[in-house]
Structure 1
Amino acid sequence: MRPFDDATRRNIAEACASFARLPDAAEPSALKRAAVVLALTASDEGNDTAFLLTRRASHLRAHRGQWALPGGRCDDGETPIEAALRELDEELALKLSTNEVLGQLDDYPTRSGYLITPVVVWASRSAAITPNPAEVASVHRIALDTIERGDAFDFVAIPESERRVIRFHHDMSLIHAPTAALIYQFREVLAGRQTRVTELEQPVFAWT
């Protein structure tokens, strides 16, 4: 168990600082930049640390109804951290400053043409969360204990790719990459492991 307190915040910040992110590519990428947030807060029971996971609204044009971390495309001239904090505010009315950023994980290239930067942030116990119905159907607090279970993730083969598809088992649902890959790398960072996830595959339905 990881209690939601200052000691846990320090431990996670140290784990993120010890993680050696892959360097940005030297050449400009054709992929569009995006950012997502691993926002850490108190669990539903209030005594454990959790991260926020959303269910996308059913009327959205892309990836409707899917599980996702808060986030979206970077605006022109915007850094991934700036985009992550803006999207967190727009989707969940959760206003955080750069002082709450604990670190970043590896950029993840998606089949649909995005390069996603995961940003880890700390939200205080008193932080109010109000889902924006234009973008978010529901928001869920996933205790870190959940992703640290041995059976939380699995890897399967598909005929369309030589790469393994990663799946996160949550609440009778299967959550796939990119979301599952980013959560998996965060789990590995918490354990002090330098695990890469860029080669973990997405299911075919997420390729467009």
Structure 2
Amino acid sequence: MVQTGGLTRARIESRLRAFDAVTVPLADRRAAAVVIAVMRGEGDVPVFPLTRRPATMRAHAGQFALPGGRLDEGESARDAALRELREELGVAVGPENVLGRLDDYVTRSGYVMTPFVVWSDDTVGALVPNPDEVALVHAVPLDELDVPTEYATLPGSPEAVACWPFRGEHIHAPTGAVIHQFCEVVLHGRATRVAAFAQPSFAWR
């Protein structure tokens, strides 16, 4: 397991700069962006916020998620990622805090999702979750990421589904795929691709 206490902004940025992220054409799909926001947890341990969506939401209710959403008209993916981070969790950072990006990921619900990694000097205690979009926030230490991704068979899914184990539960692709790639690229310096990670049927809607 990689020790992340010395995982500085410069080291994360260096790993992402060395990674050749894949860009996927939109075609007839819609554009979205998500964020892994590296912040300070207890004892200045690097953490990132992982949210759980309210059970009342129309789409993907009750699911684990990274801050993010669809692009507004004329908006870049980077700007959408920063806007969603601010709207969902009250974290305001500028473009200079974007450390890099990971591969575009095509979701079964019809989106091309671009993941960005940003740095914030705020602590997770400063988060202000938007109750309309966030039911719960987990502050996940980066050393908790370094666990093997598992594959499971789920009803309604024709192929094995990749899932990231998390505190007795499993986070499936696409969110689980983004977290897995972040771990591979940033913690290990490996250019691991995740486009082939299957998604459960409930993520298709």
- TM-score w.r.t. length of structure 1: 0.90
| 1:116-127 to 2 correspondences below 5 Å | 116-126=113-123
Partner of 1:185: 181
Letter paired with 1:168: W
Partner of 1:129: 127
Moved more, 119-128 or 106-115: 119-128
2:48/2:142 contact within 8 Å kept = yes
Partner of 1:21: 21
Could you tell me how far 1:24 is from its partner in structure 2? Answer: 3.9
Could you tell me how far 1:157 is from its partner in structure 2? Answer: 4.5
Partner of 2:193: 196
Secondary structure of 1:124's counterpart equals strand
Count of residues in correspondence between the two structures: 200
Partner of 1:12: 12
Structure 1: 5+ residue stretches without partners: none
Give yes or no for the alignment of 1:70 onto 2:67. yes
- CA 1:104/1:204 → structure 2, altered by over 3 Å: closer, same or farther? same
Secondary structure of 1:195's counterpart equals coil
Moved more, 140-149 or 110-119: 140-149
Match 2:167 to one of 158, 167, 171: 171
Partner of 2:4: 2
Alpha-carbon distance in 2 for matches of 1:82, 1:71 = 11
Alpha-carbon distance in 2 for matches of 1:183, 1:20 = 17
Could you tell me how far 1:160 is from its partner in structure 2? Answer: 3.9
Alpha-carbon distance in 2 for matches of 1:59, 1:88 = 20
| 1:23-38 to 2 correspondences below 5 Å | 23-25=23-25, 28-38=26-36
Letter paired with 1:41: M
| 1:11-160 to 2 correspondences below 5 Å | 11-25=11-25, 28-43=26-41, 45-126=42-123, 128-149=126-147, 151=148, 153-157=149-153, 160=157
Identity of aligned residues (%): 45
- CA 1:160/1:140 → structure 2, altered by over 3 Å: closer, same or farther? closer
Alpha-carbon distance in 1 for matches of 2:164, 2:14 = 25
Letter paired with 2:204: W
Could you tell me how far 1:29 is from its partner in structure 2? Answer: 1.4
Could you tell me how far 1:125 is from its partner in structure 2? Answer: 3.4
Secondary structure of 1:38's counterpart equals strand
Alpha-carbon distance in 2 for matches of 1:160, 1:55 = 22
